[in-house]
Amino acid sequence: MQDATPPRSPPRGDTPATLDECRRCDLWRNATHGVPGSGPRSARIMLIGEQPGDQEDLAGQAFVGPAGRILDQALARAGVARDEVYVTNAVKHFKWIPRGKRRMHKTPAQREVDACLYWLDQELDRIRPPVIVTLGATALRAMVRRPVRMQDYLDQPVRLGEAWLLATWHPSYALRVNDAAERDSVIAAIANAIARARKLAS
């Protein structure tokens, strides 16, 4: 007897061709743009943040707001040009909650990070960076694919398949500390991780 059940097609939006068509989670609903990574295909270092912020959502580009300016300071201290690295995020849509007229960042849920691995994996396949620097806990967990603690990974490169993985602070952490010296030490730690990444990549 012939099976009358039609072949199961993927749920709508399961394998979108473009970020703008992505419906793999609900974050697209409140976002202006899906924000892709950017940088040369030949980049030897990939920097991965958490998710676009308010300004990135509007501009459609990763790390162009306040956290991006901290990242640029760290890159400059490490002597690495921004246009030689590939910069992306674990999650491609801005998750936020309204507070008055402002859109406040909200940490993405694990299921949203998992849904977005679809895009991150494509970037990893395309760039094949020998060194990956994760900025903050969300990016680290997205890369190791389990709920690890940042402290166990900070300042010690680990092998991840063919690549080195280096974990450091998220640049927004520097924006949250009020003390200037402490802020400077966070930027220095990010710069050290990037400088180390450059050595590993050479």
Q: Which residues bind ligand URA (CB under 6 A)?
A: 49-53, 56, 62-63, 65, 67, 89, 172
Q: How far is the CB of 62 from ligand URA (least distance, A)?
A: 4
Which residue, 67 or 197, is less far from ligand URA as judged by CB?
A: 67
Which residue, 59 or 181, is less far from ligand URA as judged by CB?
A: 59
Check: CB of residue 136 under 8 Å from CB of residue 107: no
Measure Cα distances from 90 to 9, 36, 93, 115, 119 in Å.
27, 10, 9, 10, 8
Query: What's the angle, vertex CA 152, arms to CA 155 and CA 199, rounded to 5?
Result: 20
Distance CA 147, CA 113 (A): 12
Query: Among positive and negative, which fits the CA dihedral 143, 146, 152, 158?
Result: negative
Pairing of strands 86-89, 158-160: unpaired
Q: How far is the CB of 6 from ligand URA (least distance, A)?
A: 41
Position 118, amino acid: Y
Which residue, 51 or 168, is less far from ligand URA as judged by CB?
A: 51
Residue nearest to ligand URA (CB): 49
Q: How far is the CB of 139 from ligand URA (least distance, A)?
A: 7
Q: How far is the CB of 79 from ligand URA (least distance, A)?
A: 22
Q: How far is the CB of 2 from ligand URA (least distance, A)?
A: 52
Which residue, 44 or 134, is less far from ligand URA as judged by CB?
A: 134
Which residue, 67 or 75, is less far from ligand URA as judged by CB?
A: 67
